[in-house]
Amino acid sequence: MLQITEGSHAVAEAVRLCRPQVVSAYPITPQTHIVERLAEMVADGDLDGEYICVESEFSALSSCLGASAAGSRVYSATTSQGLAFMAEVVFNVAGMRQPIIMTIANRAMGAPLNIWNDQQDSLFLRDSGWMQFYAEDAQEATDLHFIAYKVAEKHDILLPAFVCFDGFILSHTFEPVDIPTQEEIDAYLPAFNPLQRLDAKKPMSFGMYATPDYYQEFRYEINAAMVRAKKAIREAGGEFAEKFGRDYSGLVEGYRLEDADTAIVAMGSVCGTIKDAVDEMRDAGEKVGLLKIRCFRPFPADEVKEALRGVSNVAVLEKNINIGSRMLGAVGLEVKDAVYKSGTPVYSYVGGLGGRDIRKKDIKMITEWAKQGRNDCFFGLREELLE
Amino acid sequence: MALNVGCAGAPGRARDNKTGSWRVFKPVFDNEKCNKCGTCMLICPEVSIDEDAEGYPKVNYDYCKGCGLCAEECPKDAISMIQEEK
Amino acid sequence: MSENTCEFFDSGHRACGGCGPALAAKLITRAAGEDTIIVASTGCMEVFSTPYPETAWKTPWIHSLFQNAAAVASGVEASIKRQGRSEKVVVIAGDGATFDIGILCISGMFERGHDVTYICYDNEAYMNTGIQRSGATPFDASTTTTPAGKLSTGNQRPKKDIPAILVAHGSPYVATTSVATPKDLMDKVKRAINTPGPCYIQVHAPCCTGWGFDGCKTMEMGKMALNSGLWVNYEIVDGELAKARKVKRVPVDDYLKAQKRFRHLFKPEPNSDEIAKIQAIADKNAEKYGIDIKPVK
Ligand SMILES: Cc1ncc(C[n+]2csc(CCOP(=O)(O)OP(=O)(O)O)c2C)c(N)n1
Ligand code: SF4
Ligand code: SF4
Ligand code: SF4
Ligand SMILES: [Mg+2]
């Protein structure tokens, strides 16, 4: 049913429909509205699960790990400082192959302290073994939760996932969102069926340590599952499209890319602004398109390569900074690798950090820069503050 | 054998590791002196002393590390530690 | 060959011969029984008992990190409660994991009131990483991060009173025990498991390697600690001291002399000032818990 709702509340509603048996989270701006709404649902009996009011993010994800290992479907949400505080457990959850879904309301990393949006937080955990989805709008954020659970819990995948949506920009704004019914979601997402669990009837030891004789193979297996996840995501997205009419069968999505000379690559809510800018540039006769990356882990290098075939230059709009790397942004690095053989130039343009507005004129500017072959750099800097 | 997903293991597999090879001294039991008090069976950290059919201690030398704790605690001095011949 | 079917912690683990924590694991699991899920912390016990694929555990067991056992246990408990299952959840964690790095998660777990028994095996230092000091290390013990030297007599802080902290959290059952009193240990584990809510047991678990004594003396060391008053077995039920094990107390000297970690207090000659400070700790314990059968002459 189409409802005008705050992004966070749409996400909370999606989570409720997934029937998590244990929710454990710790409040942090801008994730708070999700966990508050879930707490209300539990208090009102609308969500039939345990809500653990933990004392920290570190315990939030640790308790999720225990709950998942004991065989329950589990949910958490956090952002930025909270995610960094959990980092040790983040790696552990993936290594122990627990299919936990966690919403990230993307926010900048301190210092300086900043509660506004960029994507540095989830990206710094890119090698942790979690799948990473990025939503453009509240509808996509909602739907990606169903898909994430479905893929994560498959026995040949068993990987956790971040569903990322931009803090404030999506979490705190109202949009019309089509919320599926419980019957529809039950038909799409079956009850959690753990491959193995802590159980006195079939005792096993979880989280043993591995010597050099074994460790490398466990890491190999995580990566192999991540590679398999690409197909699983396409299938789960395709099935979702059949049932709900919204198509997430691609890990990337092109917009007016057909005969484009310049492609802008981006993730998350900024793609909406970019589409408007692309329309205006197209109207002015410029051959520009957008490649939106919906899934950053696993990284769909083949799709990216295919989508960018024939473009002459690529501007990657980065809401993160890859400090100390020659390539200024983490997304650009992956895109450049994907198209490497074609020789197409790829530039990382970093901006929108810590909640700085990205305007259509910024997008037009970086499109121009890419055409001119301008190297990686920041955009939207306040030059007067810099010496 | 294929790896378990997530590094979980089947119960009690440590038995594949025969720690008896660590032993330098070997506990030898004198049933004449033993009063079947059960102390040695209770406190062996290697879980390697069992009760035989008559209630006397029976050591599993596959795992006994020869720590000497049983001999030290036996109230009847029924256990002596003898150097292993290697 | 016996398969030790009634044991839930089995042979083949890699602890040092005579290891107090290994004995603690055996006694705890024996008392807890098969319907138990164990949550462990990183440390000696985890390392000596679970190199993949050779686990010594025969009940369900989980380890995640050094400092999060209480939080993992909270999740396990919530999860099985939700599923209507009846297993008991028992944490077995080291003193470093408990006194120091894990205290945030422990405080949260006790405050939230999870039905979990948290057992700390206290070998009084970080043994797994090479005998560094923890908040449980006794006064004047030499460790690799508090070495005795020309200007130092070892660890300069007294043992942290974690049981009191957990009593302050409103825990219905807090107890201390020792591997040197195996029956007491097992009774207390059973009682804690059958007490609803978060319970705490601290088990004195002498470590031959870390303290510097022969592995055959592990029980003896535990008994000497009890007899000196430096360790006290007690029970605090609903916030009140319910029971403390009485002893005919002896001076602390013999206990100290038996361990290399206190050797510097006797060489080249006895450091009577420092020994007197340790005796004062034992005297204070004795008074606080009322353990003296006859006062020391
Ligand atoms: C976050 C983190 N910091 C440090 C370590 C290194 N470390 C592993 S075990 C350990 C000490 C364990 O001490 P304790 O809990 O007393 O157990 P013991 O080894 O003495 O049995 C340390 C410092 C770690 N694994 N994780
Ligand atoms: S401790 Fe000694 S007396 Fe007791 S059962 Fe063992 S051998 Fe016999
Ligand atoms: S010597 Fe040690 S390991 Fe061997 S049986 Fe006696 S107590 Fe057990
Ligand atoms: S160092 Fe101490 S705690 Fe660790 S295995 Fe050896 S005796 Fe046990
Ligand atoms: Mg320790």
- Written as one string, the DSSP assignment of A338-387 is HTGGGT--EEEEE--GGG----HHHHHHHHHHHHHTPPSEESS--GGG--
* pLDDT band at residue C207 under the 50/70/90 scheme: very high
What chain A holds in terms of domains, given with CATH numbers, is: 2-244 (3.40.50.970), 252-385 (3.40.50.920)
pLDDT for C1 beyond 90:
no
Structure tokens at A275: 């589409």
Structure tokens at A97: 């192959």
Structure tokens at A168: 């404030």
pLDDT at B85: 85
Min Cα–Cα distance to chain C from A213, Å = 9
B3 reaches A (C-beta below 8 A): yes
pLDDT for C2 beyond 90:
no
Which candidate in B1, B3, B5 is best for mutational testing of the A interface (most A CBs within 10 A)? B5
In this structure, what DSSP letter does residue C172 have? S
* pLDDT band at residue C4 under the 50/70/90 scheme: low
Name, in order, each residue with C-beta under 8 angstroms of C212's C-beta and a sequence gap of 6 or more.
Answer: C259, C260, C261, C263
Structure tokens at A320: 């993160």
Asked if the structure places residue B18 within a domain, the reply is no
Distance of CA A369 to the CA centre of its chain: 28
Q: Is the distance from CB of C139 to CB of C164 less than 8 angstroms?
A: no
Alpha-carbon gap, residue C88 to C32, rounded angstroms? 8
Structure tokens at B12: 């009690």
pLDDT for C294 beyond 80:
no
Indicate if ipTM > 0.95.
yes
Asked if the structure places residue B4 within a domain, the reply is no
What chain C holds in terms of domains, given with CATH numbers, is: 3-289 (3.40.50.970)
Looking up tokens 């509603």 gives: A13
DSSP H or E stretch at residue C73: helix C69-82
Q: Is the distance from CB of C210 to CB of C131 less than 8 angstroms?
A: yes
Pocket flag, ligand 1, residue C97 (CB < 6 Å): yes
Residues in chain A closer than 8 A to C112 (CB atoms): 52-54
Question: Which pLDDT tens digit goes with each residue over B3-61?
Answer: 999 999 999 999 999 999 999 999 999 999 999 999 999 999 999 999 999 999 999 99
Question: CATH number for the domain including B79?
Answer: 3.30.70.20
Other beta carbons within 10 Å of A312 = 13
Instruction: Average the pLDDT over C37-62 and give the result.
Output: 98
Q: Is the distance from CB of C229 to CB of C286 less than 8 angstroms?
A: yes
Question: Which pLDDT tens digit goes with each residue over C143-174?
Answer: 999 999 999 999 999 999 999 999 999 999 99
DSSP H or E stretch at residue A205: strand A205-206
Instruction: Average the pLDDT over C110-129 and give the result.
Output: 98
Instruction: Average the pLDDT over C58-70 and give the result.
Output: 98
Instruction: Average the pLDDT over A283-309 and give the result.
Output: 98
Structurally, chain B folds into a number of domains equal to 1
| Chains in contact with A, where contact requires at least 3 CB pairs less than 8 Å apart | B, C
pLDDT for C93 beyond 70:
yes
Other beta carbons within 10 Å of C165 = 17
Alpha-carbon gap, residue B5 to A155, rounded angstroms? 9
Alpha carbon distances (Å) from A168 to A118, A148, A346, A352, C172: 10, 22, 29, 13, 44
Asked if the structure places residue B78 within a domain, the reply is yes
Give which of A112, A111, A108, A60 is closest to A86, Cα–Cα: A60
* Burial track A321-332 (b if 16+ CB lie within 10 A, e otherwise): bbeeeebbbbbb
In this structure, what DSSP letter does residue C190 have? H
Tell which atom from ligand 3 comes closest to the C-alpha of B81: 1
pLDDT at C6: 72
Pocket flag, ligand 2, residue B27 (CB < 6 Å): no
Find the B34 Cα to ligand 2 centroid distance in Å: 5
Distance of CA C84 to the CA centre of its chain: 32
> Domain range holding B36?
27-86
pLDDT at C13: 98
Q: Is the distance from CB of C214 to CB of C275 less than 8 angstroms?
A: no
Alpha-carbon gap, residue C119 to C42, rounded angstroms? 14
Tell which atom from ligand 4 comes closest to the C-alpha of C14: 5
Mean of per-residue pLDDT scores for chain C: 96
Instruction: Average the pLDDT over C253-260 and give the result.
Output: 98
Residues in chain A closer than 8 A to C111 (CB atoms): 55
For C8, phi then psi, to 5°, come to -110, 0
Alpha-carbon gap, residue C146 to A72, rounded angstroms? 44
Min Cα–Cα distance to chain C from A80, Å = 20
pLDDT at C49: 98
Pocket flag, ligand 1, residue C95 (CB < 6 Å): yes
Give which of C104, C99, C133, C123 is closest to C15, Cα–Cα: C123
pLDDT at C40: 98
Q: Strands A22-25 and A50-53: what pairing? A: parallel
pLDDT for C135 beyond 60:
yes
When CB atoms are compared, the residue of A24, A72, A206 closest to C83 is A72
**For chain B, how long is the longest CA-to-CA vector?**
52
Instruction: Average the pLDDT over C100-112 and give the result.
Output: 98
| DSSP letter for each residue of A230-274 | HHHHHHHHHHHHHHHS-----SEEEES-TT-SEEEEE-STHHHHH
Alpha carbon distances (Å) from C272 to C146, C164, C211, C269: 20, 30, 21, 9
Interface touch B11/A204, C-beta < 8 Å: yes
Instruction: Average the pLDDT over A316-327 and give the result.
Output: 96
Min Cα–Cα distance to chain A from C32, Å = 12
Q: Is the distance from CB of C70 to CB of C117 less than 8 angstroms?
A: no
Q: Is the distance from CB of B9 to CB of C52 less than 8 angstroms?
A: yes
* pLDDT band at residue C3 under the 50/70/90 scheme: very low
DSSP H or E stretch at residue C76: helix C69-82
pLDDT for C178 beyond 90:
yes
Instruction: Average the pLDDT over A333-351 and give the result.
Output: 97
Asked if the structure places residue B11 within a domain, the reply is no
* pLDDT band at residue C297 under the 50/70/90 scheme: low
A207 reaches B (C-beta below 8 A): yes
Q: Is the distance from CB of B60 to CB of C11 less than 8 angstroms?
A: yes
Other beta carbons within 10 Å of C191 = 17
pLDDT for C133 beyond 60:
yes
pLDDT at C5: 58
Q: Strands C61-63 and A161-166: what pairing? A: unpaired
When CB atoms are compared, the residue of C26, C53, C220 closest to B47 is C26
| Chains in contact with C, where contact requires at least 3 CB pairs less than 8 Å apart | A, B
3-class SS of residue A101: strand
Q: Strands A252-255 and A288-293: what pairing? A: antiparallel
* pLDDT band at residue A1 under the 50/70/90 scheme: confident
Closest alpha carbon within chain A to C56: A205
3-class SS of residue A58: helix
Q: Which amino acid is at C83?
A: Q
pLDDT at C296: 52
Asked if the structure places residue B84 within a domain, the reply is yes
Find the B41 Cα to ligand 2 centroid distance in Å: 8
Asked if the structure places residue B6 within a domain, the reply is no
Pocket flag, ligand 1, residue C123 (CB < 6 Å): yes
Instruction: Average the pLDDT over C207-221 and give the result.
Output: 98
Name, in order, each residue with C-beta under 8 angstroms of B47's C-beta and a sequence gap of 6 or more.
Answer: B63, C4, C7, C9, C10, C11, C26
pLDDT at A71: 98
